[in-house]
Amino acid sequence: MKYLLVFCLVVSASYGAIDEHRISLIERKFQDLARQLMLTELAMGERTRSNYDSGIKQVRSTADGTKSYFVSTHTFNSVCSIHEHSNNDRTVGMGEFTANLNGVEFRTRHNDYRLRMPHRRSKAYHALEDIPLPPTPPSVLRKRTLPEQIKELHNYFRAFSFQNFHFRDYRPYFKPVLCYLEGTWTVDTKTLNEPFESDRHHIDATSWFDLQEKIRFTSYTGGKHYLENFSYLPTTIMNMVNGTPEYAQWNYRIVCHPLKKDLPLSAMKPVDDMAARIGHRWNITRFAHSRAARFVLAPDYNGNRNKYEWQNGYGSFPDRRTSINSVLDWVMSEIPGKDNYPAKLTDTTFGKRILDPRVHNATELNTGYYHRYYRHERKGAMGTFNAHRGYSDRNLFVAQTSNPNVAEMKIKWCGKDEHTHKPFCKEEGVRYSYAIPLEIIYLNPLMTWNPYNIEHISDHRKANIVTKNGRNGGLTQDKAYNGTSFNKYYRTPVEFYQTAHTTVDKDAADTARGTVGVLDRHGNVKRVLSSGVRITLPDIPGIGKIRMRYPVMPITSEGSQIGKEVEAVKDVLNHLETMGAYLQERPSALSGGGNAKADAHFRTSVTNQDPPGHHFHEMFIPNEDMIDLSKGHTITVVTTTDNSHDHKIEVSYDQHTHKYIIHKCDGQDKCWDGHTAELFRLE
Ligand SMILES: *[C@@H]1O[C@H](CO)[C@@H](O)[C@H](O)[C@H]1NC(C)=O
Ligand SMILES: *[C@@H]1O[C@H](CO)[C@@H](O)[C@H](O)[C@H]1NC(C)=O
Ligand SMILES: *[C@@H]1O[C@H](CO)[C@@H](O)[C@H](O)[C@H]1NC(C)=O
Ligand SMILES: *[C@@H]1O[C@H](CO)[C@@H](O)[C@H](O)[C@H]1NC(C)=O
């Protein structure tokens, strides 16, 4: 806009004398225009706010189909594109998504965030600390042999899996962490600041301007940055000060908070995202165990952990209205805004105090922590009233901050002095950020347990010691990694997962799981598996698969009339037995349809080839294709996207060995990144 002004001046100069009158006229018109622009942005924001709740809107889609439900929404193969990078010590795999926070719509880069939390003592902007990983239970460490240690550690996993802390008190070793998406308007309009650290992805742009140009380009062509390193983050005019617009830049981050007390698994139940479910022909049980599932937190929590029932390993509580005491309000209220944990702020704009709705007396609310409910004080003896943040936004959690890196919203207001009754006017400014929960991750003792006493190189700059001289994790003396590092984090003995009397060929099982060799301090090769964050742990003998990541993100569409109607209709149709009475005309009989077989679920072997690094892919094969396979045909399927790539695979079925085989991978005989030919059927 400055250029516009210069341009006007040049134009007026070329037309003769620069007369004062004309300049001030242009200045005024320019101010009017800038203000109108601000109001246009407000109108767009108001439209978004009335259409949607804060939440996740969409993930990148890679496939098509004859029905719209074969294409992703906020989920399809995996909700929010979550995946694993368990070879990193504290990286949580999460792809790109579009989200809305209080009417601001933005698109993230490939996220892959780390297990870090706001600083406990520093208020510095984005000061973070590593979240402590849980220790290994002493009763495990006391055992002298590896098989004994494994047996005792299995007991803890068994106790966690059955939520039985009388058998073994697992609670100090299975720590729930709430990871959340936080966004706000910042004053960093010039230099591009990486919003949060990822071992794997950084915004590939030199300035905000550069990023905007790159996003504009990919939006124009429909193309994509092949490494998924661009985000769309809007800018706005925050205030007009003496005719000069004050710009602000939207930015977001994903950080985590270790919950102060245990959150029982029964306090989470699966949400039926029916499009993704029907897209895979999955029943609700099968869906709930997939990466595509989301969970909802229980209505309330009164310390009685037996309150909620279990069904298929997940909570099953009745749906009902909630208030300030919901589990979601409890967990979010532990999270500070941009002042970090020392946050202590109150908001008295318009001369009214904001009170804590959880207590009955007039205690001021610490607005430096996230909340969606508050109590407002009224003038004189008129008492108080309860309020919810946002006009109709169910998921609007806000926190105040004093940090000058967050753009300030100013307001002029007038009132009367309480004592002298003299009228006065003043200008105040406040700074707020917004957040929604993303997922609850249970940290577990495998993250620290190191029975082989393998040396860990914690200094990232020295991490290449591990791979020096072409060491790639092979199972021989010269190829095994020399110790572990932040992104070669393999320390769990294969025996922890492997059954002693396995019918599967041991070597095949090793490649399938991604076993690597690591040298211990005496130079002996140890066979180990990755120990970082996983969505579901591999099968533990006698216990089974345990889910460790519970996505709890809200979605945008439930904020509209359509979203709410569809959810009600879905409930009646899903529960005809108990809710069918709400239908105006009842069906006389149901045909019992819907027995179509679920998609078969496969996985490639794990590859450690670098690039592209430790990973595997999943694939879903519809029943019709499975029938073709059994007849000896080959079929084509595209894998999930992992480590920023997928494969187009021609699958065949070997009638003699009864194995599913990669016939062609991206048109070649072998996958370029080293997946073996064999495919592993998960379900
Ligand atoms: C983009 O992301 C990839 C990971 O897929 C990472 O290796 C690379 O360093 C990033 N590029 C830039 C310029 O940040
Ligand atoms: C749900 O589907 C799974 C596999 O797709 C099957 O094993 C299970 O029996 C089904 N459950 C019900 C209740 O039909
Ligand atoms: C409000 O009640 C709490 C205990 O419920 C008490 O600690 C606090 O001092 C009270 N505050 C006021 C202002 O009365
Ligand atoms: C492994 O690394 C350590 C340093 O951490 C070094 O002393 C040792 O010689 C290395 N071993 C081999 C076999 O390269």
Closest-lying ligand to the alpha carbon of 613? 1
Ligand 2 centroid–CA 286 distance in Å is 6
If you search the block for the tokens 């998960």, which residue do you land on? 682
Cβ atoms 612, 643 nearer than 8 A: yes
Which residue out of 462, 465, 469, 518 has the highest number of ligand 4 atoms within 8 Å of its CB and is therefore the one to mutate? 465
**What is the Å distance from ligand 1's center to 373 Cα?**
40
Q: Of the ligands numbered here, which is closest to the C-alpha atom of 458?
A: 4
In a domain, 33, yes or no: yes
Provide the percentage of residues in the chain whose pLDDT is more than 90: 66
480 and 411 housed in the same domain? no
Which residue minimizes the CA distance to atom 2 of ligand 3? 361
pLDDT in tens, 653-671: 999 999 999 999 999 999 9
- Counting from 1 in the atom list of ligand 2, the atom nearest the Cα of 598 is 5
- Residue 359 and residue 421 in one domain: yes
> Ligand 2 within 6 A of 286 CB?
yes
Q: 1 pLDDT band (50/70/90 cuts)? A: very low
Which ligand has its closest atom nearest to the C-alpha of 595?
2
Q: Is 70 exceeded by the pLDDT of residue 271? A: yes
Is 181 within a domain? Answer: no
Ligand 3 centroid to Cα of residue 298, in Å, is 28
The 10s digit of each residue's pLDDT in 197-249 is: 777 777 777 788 888 888 888 888 888 877 677 889 999 988 888 777 888 99
Q: Tens digit of pLDDT for each residue in 299-322? A: 887 656 566 777 777 888 888 888
Half-sphere exposure of 650 (CA within 13 A, CB side): 11
Q: Does residue 468 share a domain with residue 518?
A: yes
For atom 12 of ligand 4, which residue has the closest CA?
Answer: 482
- The domain boundary residue, chosen from 10, 26, 49: 49
Q: What is the pLDDT of residue 195?
A: 67
Does 214 contact ligand 1 (Cβ within 6 A)? no
- Residue 59 covered by a domain: no
Element holding 414 (H helix, E strand): strand 409-416
Task: Give the domain extent around 494.
Answer: 452-530
Confidence of residue 499 (pLDDT cuts 50, 70, 90): low
In this predicted model, what pLDDT tens digit does every residue of 158-167 receive, in sequence order?
999 999 999 9
Contact between residue 490 and residue 473 where contact means Cβ atoms under 8 Å apart: yes
Q: Do 670 and 640 fall within a single domain?
A: yes
Mind listing the pLDDT tens digit for each residue in 141-157? 999 999 999 999 999 99
Ligand 1 in reach of 201 Cβ (< 6 A): yes
| Cα 164 to middle of ligand 3, angstroms | 37
Question: Which of 200, 230, 610 most suits a substitution to test ligand 1, by most atoms within 8 Å of the C-beta?
Answer: 200
Question: Does the pLDDT of residue 77 top 50, yes or no?
Answer: yes
Ligand 2 in contact with 285 (CB < 6 A)?
A: yes
Average the pLDDT over 583-601 and give the result: 78
Asked which of 530, 561, 580 is the last residue of a domain, the reply is 530
Give the pLDDT confidence score for residue 265 in this predicted structure.
92
Ligand 1 center from residue 199 Cα (angstroms):
9
By CB atoms closer than 10 A (0-12, 13-18, 19+), residue 69 is: middle
Q: Count how many domains the chain has.
A: 4
In the reported structure, the alpha carbon of residue 277 is separated from the centroid of ligand 2 by a whole-number distance in angstroms of 13
Report yes or no on 28 lying in a domain. Answer: yes
Sheet of strand 113-114, all strands in order from the earlier edge strand to the far edge: 82-83, 91-94, 113-114
Q: Mean pLDDT in the chain?
A: 89
What predicted TM-score, i.e. pTM, was given to this entire model?
0.90
Q: Which of 358, 363, 364 to mutate to test the pocket of ligand 3 (most atoms within 8 A of CB)?
A: 363
CA distance 679 to 659: 7
Query: What is the best residue among 272, 280, 285, 682 to mutate for testing ligand 2's pocket, by most ligand atoms within 8 Å of CB?
Result: 285
Residues 457 and 425 placed together within one structural domain of the fold = no
What number of other Cβ atoms are within 10 A of residue 554's Cβ? 21
pLDDT beyond 70 at 3: no
Give the end of a domain, one of 381, 397, 431: 431
Give the per-residue pLDDT at 173: 98
Q: Is 644 in the pocket of ligand 1 (CB under 6 A)?
A: yes
With a CB cutoff of 8 Å and minimum separation 6, the contacts of 611 are 673
Q: What is the pLDDT of residue 206?
A: 76
**CB of 359 shorter than 6 A to ligand 3:** yes
The answer to whether position 302 is within a domain reads no
- Alpha-carbon distance of 118 to 179, in angstroms, equals 11
Concatenated DSSP letters for 153-186?
HHHHHHHHHTT-TTTS--TTTSEEEEEEEEEEEE
pLDDT, tens only, 547-568: 999 999 999 999 999 999 999 9
Task: State the distance from the centre of ligand 2 to the C-alpha of 287, rounded, in angstroms.
Answer: 10
Nearest CA to ligand 4 atom 11: 482
User: Where is pLDDT greater, at 126 or 323?
Assistant: 126
CB atoms within 10 A of CB 16: 8
Residue from 278, 283, 597, 602 to probe ligand 2 pocket by mutation (most atoms less than 8 Å from CB): 283
**Residue length of the chain:** 683
Does the beta carbon of 464 lie inside 6 Å of ligand 2? no
Residue 676 scores a pLDDT above 60: yes
* CA dihedral sign, ordered 34, 38, 43, 48: positive
Q: Does residue 283 line the site of ligand 2, with CB under 6 A?
A: yes
H-helix or E-strand containing 399?
strand 397-400
Q: Which pLDDT band holds residue 362 (cuts at 50, 70, 90)? A: confident
Are 490 and 426 contained in the same domain? no
Residue 22 lies in a domain: yes
Q: Is the CB of 204 inside a 6 Å radius of any atom of ligand 1?
A: yes
Ligand nearest to the backbone CA of 360: 3
Q: Is 511 in the pocket of ligand 1 (CB under 6 A)?
A: no
CA 654 to ligand 2 center in whole angstroms: 26
Q: Which atom of ligand 4 is nearest to the CA of 455?
A: 5
Ligand 2 atom nearest 282 alpha carbon:
5
Cα of 363 vs centre of ligand 3, distance in Å, is 7
**Helices assigned H by DSSP within 192-247:** 208-221
Distance 403 CA to ligand 1 centre (A): 30
Does 264 reside within a domain?
A: no
pLDDT at 181: 98
- Sign for the CA dihedral angle at 405, 411, 416, 422 comes to positive
Instruction: Evaluate: CB of 200 within 6 angstroms of ligand 1.
Output: yes
CB atoms within 10 A of CB 37: 15
Residue pLDDT, tens place only, 393-434: 999 999 999 999 999 998 888 888 878 889 999 888 999 999
Q: What is the pLDDT of residues 628-650, one digit of tens each?
A: 999 999 999 999 888 888 899 99
Residue of 83, 88, 204 best suited for mutating to test ligand 1, as the one with most atoms within 8 Å of CB: 204
Pocket of ligand 4 (CB under 6 A): 455, 465, 482-483, 523
- Pick the atom of ligand 1 nearest to 200's CA: 4
**What integer pLDDT is reported at residue 380 of this predicted model?**
58
Nearest residue by C-alpha to atom 13 in ligand 1: 204
| Binding site membership of 363 for ligand 3 (Cβ less than 6 Å) | yes
Q: Is 645 in the pocket of ligand 1 (CB under 6 A)?
A: no
Give the ligand at the shortest distance from the Cα of 112: 1
Q: List the residue whose alpha carbon is closest to atom 2 of ligand 4.
A: 482
Beta strands in 444-561 (DSSP E): 481-482, 490-493, 516-519, 525-530, 549-551
In terms of DSSP bridges, do strands 490-493 and 525-530 run parallel, antiparallel, or are they unpaired?
antiparallel
Among the atoms of ligand 2, which is closest to the Cα of residue 597? 5
Domain identity same for 612 and 644:
yes
550 assigned to some structural domain? no
